[in-house]
A and B are shown apart, each in its own frame.
Chain A
Amino acid sequence: MARRWGVRLAEIVGVMLAVSCIVYLMLEVNADEVAVKVLGQFSTPEQRHLWLHENGYERPFLLRYLGWLWHFLWGDWGMSTHYREPVIDILPARLAHTGILACATLVVMIPASFLLGILAGMREGSLADRAISVFCILTTSVPEFASAVFLAAIFVFWLGLLPGASTMTEGFSLREIVLPVLVLALYATGYLARIVRASMVEVMTSAYVRTALMKGASPSRIVLRHALRNALIAPVTVIMLQVPWLLSGVIVTEVFFAYKGFGTLLYEAALNSDVAMIEACAMVSVVVVVATQLLSDLLYAWLNPRMRRAERPAPQGAGV
């Protein structure tokens, strides 16, 4: 058991190292380009040369990378060329804004998708099942920027109920967060509901539910007492694995509604070639993904007694 988690941790460290290497390689392998990006198109060759020298860019690539990694680990994430401030002073606050958005999305999406999934999965092939399945395909087919346009067209342009931008210039505003949350939740709900449904169908056709039925237990008792607990193991872990998708959607949604979160930060950094900021954002996003994957593993082991009591791990594919 302990060995298994040890291997898992070592793997995570390996992945993070490789990720940091890829990020640094992509953005800084060409030192001259970095100088142009940091100093601007109109800097003179002498200025660039001086800057490269001052920042240790004449060292071999591997040494540069290790130096960068070392500084990064200790919280020195470099200067943002766009904001003219240390990256570490800007990024956490933006991440917190995105955290608010993500939490609100989860609060909307989890009850909605569980309700839909359970209703659909209780009786496979019923009218409710078909209707919910079509709804789920529909919402997962519409990309975030398109659903943002549709919802904005309805609630902003047509009904005039909600503001079309979520800049939050005068502090937090509930009205401004409704549309971004709705856009994110709409996509994720369809996806999660399908998984809840599949899991529910599997449990409802299992032998022990049939036994309960023959014993004369009422349908509500079967669903609530017998089926639900086992049906929810897979979806609960899937919620965590959805975070990478959610993060991608967050970028698009934040840009559309001009919400000042992590996504717009990365987007603006990309448009302005803000190298240090892009690096930090990419690293942070990967840390979030890897952390949620680990959390999902832990949750699964905790929820599923078969995993908890197993002395040796169930045979898995090597390396996955």
Chain B
Amino acid sequence: MSRWLAALRRPTVAIGGLMVTVWILCALFANLLAPYDPLLSGDPLVLPLGRGASGAFHLLGTDLLGRDILSRLIFGARTVVIWAGLATATAYAVGIAIGLLAGFYGGVIDRALSFIANVVLSFPVLVLYILIIVTLGASGVNIVLAVTFASAPAIFRLVRALALDIRSRDFIAAAITQGEGAVHIMVMEILPNTLGPLTVDACLRLGYTSITIGVLGFLGLGLPPPTPDWGGMVNDGRAMAIAFPHLVVFPCLAISSLMLGLSLLADGLREAPARA
């Protein structure tokens, strides 16, 4: 833990951490922070810093249906944090489980699982997402399924490589000699030693998943409306972007800043000195 605290002293890590924290706070306290109801229609197409016909002040303006953009961004943070978090966690659960199996047992199990991972990773990610969403329909649960299916193989490869390396260490041989069960060795001996690289990867992957949800929203394949969703806001405002750039620029800034924060965090953690 202390090395991560030390990493926080680096300016890039601190900035990244701050950006991510701000969005997480937005997600947690959306109802307190948002000035309006994100689904409530008021005066349409109010410009940033402007007042609508009813005199209501909108810091970032309103969209075509008169919904306050700042409020939608803040509630959109909740959407992203919940769904991206859930999807990434599920992908990790699956990826770690099969990665440990392949790395620990090796042989046929390893070859079969690696082949399946190769097959899934042969798809360009977005093509795979489109295929799954077209088959299952657009909903939050299906996004979680799609992300799990598409990212678990990459996590699997990472865990498998780490597990293969750790498997050959003396303390694993000692645990086997002691008569520990396979599950115990995988979960209690191998898994804790993979956590360092996995944390860095998780930071980045959380960002990729947020982007995926944004991209699917942008393509109109994401969470169904009227859920406040950054990508969906860009999609809705795209047709009118020439006259009203604020419809699309602010959601893009939101998702970019979240991803930038996570990248800076991952970059800093990667360069932090390893435990002695």
**Interface residue ranges, A against B (CB under 8 Å):** 11, 14-16, 18-19, 22-23, 26-27, 134, 137-138, 140-146, 149-150, 152-153, 156-157, 164, 244-245, 247-248, 251-252, 255-256, 266-267, 270-271, 273, 278, 281-282, 285-286, 289-290, 293, 317-320
Contacts and interface: CB of A to CB of B under 8 A. Distances in A.
A141 B221 contact: no
Given A26-B135, A153-B241, A251-B126, 5 more contacts: A18-B115, A23-B131, A27-B134, A137-B260, A164-B241
B260 A252 contact: no
Contacts of B231: 145
A317 B161 contact: yes
- Give the residue among B126, B157, B249, B264 with the most A Cβ atoms within 10 A: B126
Contacts of A245: 124-125
A256 B215 CA distance: 11
Contacts of A140: 263
Given A270-B130, A289-B122, A318 B245 contact: no
Contacts of B249: 149-150, 153
Interface of B: 12, 106, 110-111, 114-116, 118-119, 122-127, 130-135, 157, 160-161, 164, 207, 211, 214-215, 218-221, 231, 234, 238, 241-242, 245, 248-249, 252-253, 255-256, 259-260, 262-264, 267
A136 to B, nearest CB: 10
A contacts with B: majority SS: helix
B236 to A, nearest CB: 13
B contacts with A: majority SS: helix
B124 A248 contact: yes
Given A164-B242, A270-B221, A317 B256 contact: no
Contacts of B214: 143, 145-146
Contacts of A317: 114, 160-161, 164
A164 B214 CA distance: 21
Contacts of A266: 127, 130
Contacts of B211: 143
- Give the residue among B130, B248, B259 with the most A Cβ atoms within 10 A: B130
A164 B243 CA distance: 12
- Give the residue among B127, B130, B160, B248 with the most A Cβ atoms within 10 A: B127
A141 B124 CA distance: 19
Given A146-B256, A281-B127, A319-B115, A27 B267 contact: no
Contacts, number: 146
Contacts of A244: 123-125
B12 A19 contact: no
Contact of A319 (B12, B118, B122, B126): B118
Contacts of B135: 26-27
B46 to A, nearest CB: 18
Contacts of A319: 110-111, 114-115, 118
Nearest to B218: A145
A149 B233 CA distance: 12
Nearest to B126: A248
B234 A149 contact: yes
Contact of A143 (B106, B221, B248, B255): B255
27 contacts: A15-B115, A15-B118, A26-B132, A27-B131, A27-B134, A141-B262, A142-B256, A142-B259, A143-B255, A144-B215, A145-B218, A145-B234, A149-B234, A150-B249, A152-B241, A244-B124, A248-B125, A251-B124, A251-B130, A267-B130, A270-B130, A278-B130, A278-B131, A281-B127, A282-B131, A317-B164, A318-B111
A252 B219 contact: yes
A22 B132 CA distance: 11
